[in-house]
Chains A and B, each alone.
Chain A
Amino acid sequence: MPLISLHGVSKSYPGGIEALSDVTFDVEEGEFVFLSGPSGAGKTTLLRLLLRMEVASRGDVLAFGRNLRALRSSAIPYLRRNIGVVFQDFRLLPDRTVAENVAVGLHVLGLSRRDIRRRVANTLYDLDIDRYAHHYPSMLSGGEQQRVAIGRALVMHPALILADEPTGNLDWELSNEIVRLFEELNSKGTTVVMATHDRFLLDACPRRTILLNRGMVIEDRPVPVQRTHDAAPRPVREAAG
């Protein structure tokens, strides 16, 4: 069963704007998918549907085997605990240190202080930002801030990462670095869906690419054969409650 499955999904906003129209595709567990297309193509809207921040106007969005339209609102938090989100603008809390920013979601899980400290330390180490643990976000470069934001998502051990233009505020070299990071995570089994309109990045990292334009899928280019990963996918946590 695919991890994500969209069937004839449309999303219209009041005022007749059709952000997505008749979108159909699947994403299997362990896949790395780029979501591409010009500004206004509907990339962000698609990610918002997957996070159940919006509900499709028509069609069905399935994630982790659940139809998101039928999801009770009390079950939404448990859906989201399987998904790590990364944004273009990082969305770090300026009055919290790097370690506190990364730890913010762990309190939701009710982990002990010791477990939180250990998980945060490991995550900061993996992302090579452990030396900034007690710094504030404003003291870091853009690339480092994005690593902190990625850390905040990864520390929750998500089965799926949704990244919305995570390299939009970074220069070429840092962008490349961030994508390598996602590829590394993917090689360990995490499914990654990354929205970007950076053509150079798409060329440098040949991956399956879903091209959107005006809300429609105009191309679904498969991953070039030489670059498949056979790592076991990260198991999906059972949604409690």
Chain B
Amino acid sequence: MIALRIAARQSLHLLGQGLKGLVVSPGQTAACILSLAVAGCLVVLSASFGSLAVQVLDRAGRSAKVLVYLKDEVPADRVKDLMARIGARPDVEAVQYVTREQDRARNTDLLPKDLAASMPPEAVPGQHGLDVTFRAGAGGTGGVTELAAFLRALSGVDVVAEPPVGAGRLRALGAAVGFLRTVVTMLAVLLLVGTLFFVVGTLTRTMERRRDEISILRLLGATDTFVRSPILVQGIFQGVSGMVLGALAALLVSGAVNAWLAAEFDVAVRLPTWPGLVLPLAVAGGTVVGVAGTFIATARREA
């Protein structure tokens, strides 16, 4: 019981000592927390942009379909021959035959529900054709246009419907986002490593400032824990406050980006924000930074 009270008092004292360490060089501490925040923010944003890139590319890939409508009189063996020729191209992922009934069903789906219900089924147009899936990565937007030109030149082909323009734009955006993600991730990692040494620097500075006090404390019987835990408190405080600030900033940025996406592109693509995951992770990450910083600082200089 008494031991518990002593431990509680000591913890409180050491906590206070640790917080005092924050103002040993306030400018450096602030800069340290700020750069941790920037690094943390970049880590979260790169994760969320990465996830967005996957979404966008997936969407673009799915819409990169070229519809080839065949003339009514093209016979089945000619269709087979056409499918083989088209399927042999490297920029084609798949070729699928669409019957008249399937096409009619699709067109019915496109009509407003009440109008479709009021029409006799035969009134909806239906034409047989081929669904040609473009292989993403085998070429740029020009690739789809070139594929469409090739298909148009085949005999028996009636109409070639290229994918909507938005798909190309989305694909370009997806690629840009993917690139941005790589750059941002690299920056974030560099910044985190740099910032860790920034944290070590502030802790070393505190230890330097307290050197005389620490050597006196050692002679008066202070344990390692007593001498080092204020440094740990300072490190964890810096780490956690920096990372949490960064996470909050990242949430703000993704909110703004989502508002822009909704206004600029009329698509259901959103930057994912995981507040329930990001904040606890920020606390954990900040603690890791603090502990690692303390470890390096005390190993470099015997405290």
Tell whether A107 pairs with B10 under 8 Å between CB atoms, given A74-B223, A85-B219: yes
A118 CB contacts on chain B under 8 angstroms: none
Q: Bound complex: CA of A98 vs CA of B219, how far in Å?
A: 18
Query: In the complex the two chains form, is A112's CB within 8 Å of B9's CB?
Result: yes
A85 CB contacts on chain B under 8 angstroms: 219
Q: For the complex, would chain A's binding face be called helix, strand, loop or mixed by DSSP majority?
A: loop
Q: Is B266 an interface residue (CB 8 A)?
A: no
Query: In the complex the two chains form, is A77's CB within 8 Å of B221's CB?
Result: yes
Query: In the complex the two chains form, is A108's CB within 8 Å of B219's CB?
Result: no
How many residue pairs at the A-B interface have CB separations less than 8 Å?
53
Q: Is A16 an interface residue (CB 8 A)?
A: no
Query: In the complex the two chains form, is B221's CB within 8 Å of A156's CB?
Result: yes
Q: Bound complex: CA of A156 vs CA of B219, how far in Å?
A: 11
**Residue of B with least CB distance to A162:** B219
Query: In the complex the two chains form, is A107's CB within 8 Å of B212's CB?
Result: no
Query: In the complex the two chains form, is B7's CB within 8 Å of A110's CB?
Result: yes
Q: Is A207 an interface residue (CB 8 A)?
A: no
Query: In the complex the two chains form, is A110's CB within 8 Å of B6's CB?
Result: yes
Query: In the complex the two chains form, is B9's CB within 8 Å of A104's CB?
Result: no
Query: In the complex the two chains form, is B6's CB within 8 Å of A104's CB?
Result: no
Task: Pick the residue among A91, A105, A111, A112 that contacts B221 (CB under 8 A).
Answer: A105
List 11 contacting pairs A-B, 8 Å CB cutoff, sorted by A.
A51-B219, A79-B221, A81-B220, A85-B219, A104-B213, A104-B216, A108-B222, A110-B13, A112-B9, A152-B216, A152-B220
Query: In the complex the two chains form, is A91's CB within 8 Å of B216's CB?
Result: yes
Chain B interface (Cβ within 8 Å of chain A)? 5-7, 9-10, 13, 212-213, 215-224, 226
Query: In the complex the two chains form, is B212's CB within 8 Å of A105's CB?
Result: no
B217 CB contacts on chain A under 8 angstroms: 104-105, 108
A53-80 vs B, CB cutoff 8 Å, 1 = contact: the mask equals: 0000000000000000000001001111
What size tier do the contact residues of chain A reach? 20 to 34
Query: In the complex the two chains form, is B213's CB within 8 Å of A77's CB?
Result: no
Q: How far is the CB of B215 from chain A (nearest CB, A)?
A: 8
Q: Bound complex: CA of A104 vs CA of B220, how far in Å?
A: 9
Q: A79-B221, A109-B6, A152-B216 known; 7 other A-B pairs, CB under 8 Å? A: A77-B226, A81-B220, A91-B212, A93-B212, A104-B220, A108-B220, A108-B223
**Residue of A with least CB distance to B220:** A105
Q: Bound complex: CA of A156 vs CA of B217, how far in Å?
A: 12
Tell whether A80 pairs with B221 under 8 Å between CB atoms, given A110-B6, A110-B9, A112-B9: yes
A74 CB contacts on chain B under 8 angstroms: 223-224
**Residue of A with least CB distance to B221:** A81
* Residues of chain A from 7 to 65 with CB closer than 8 A to chain B in the complex: 51
Q: How far is the CB of A100 from chain B (nearest CB, A)?
A: 11
A98-124 vs B, CB cutoff 8 Å, 1 = contact: the mask equals: 000000110111111000000000000
B221 CB contacts on chain A under 8 angstroms: 77-81, 105, 108, 156
Q: Bound complex: CA of A107 vs CA of B216, how far in Å?
A: 12
Q: Bound complex: CA of A104 vs CA of B212, how far in Å?
A: 12
Q: Bound complex: CA of A91 vs CA of B216, how far in Å?
A: 8
**Residue of A with least CB distance to B215:** A91
Q: How far is the CB of A7 from chain B (nearest CB, A)?
A: 25
A77 CB contacts on chain B under 8 angstroms: 218, 221-223, 226
**Residue of A with least CB distance to B9:** A110
Q: Bound complex: CA of A85 vs CA of B226, how far in Å?
A: 19
The winner among A77, A80, A109 for most chain B CB atoms within 10 A is A77
B10 CB contacts on chain A under 8 angstroms: 107, 110
Q: How far is the CB of B18 from chain A (nearest CB, A)?
A: 13
Q: How far is the CB of B302 from chain A (nearest CB, A)?
A: 12
**Residue of B with least CB distance to A108:** B222
A81 CB contacts on chain B under 8 angstroms: 220-221
Q: Bound complex: CA of A55 vs CA of B97, how far in Å?
A: 89
A138-153 vs B, CB cutoff 8 Å, 1 = contact: the mask equals: 0000000000000010
Q: How far is the CB of A157 from chain B (nearest CB, A)?
A: 12
A224-241 vs B, CB cutoff 8 Å, 1 = contact: the mask equals: 000000000000000000
Q: Bound complex: CA of A81 vs CA of B219, how far in Å?
A: 8
B9 CB contacts on chain A under 8 angstroms: 110-112
Q: How far is the CB of B303 from chain A (nearest CB, A)?
A: 14
Query: Which are the 6 A-B pairs with shortest beta-carbon distances?
Result: A105-B220, A110-B6, A81-B221, A80-B221, A110-B10, A77-B221
Q: Bound complex: CA of A78 vs CA of B212, how far in Å?
A: 20
**Residue of B with least CB distance to A115:** B9
**Residue of B with least CB distance to A53:** B219
Q: Bound complex: CA of A60 vs CA of B215, how far in Å?
A: 25
Q: How far is the CB of A90 from chain B (nearest CB, A)?
A: 11
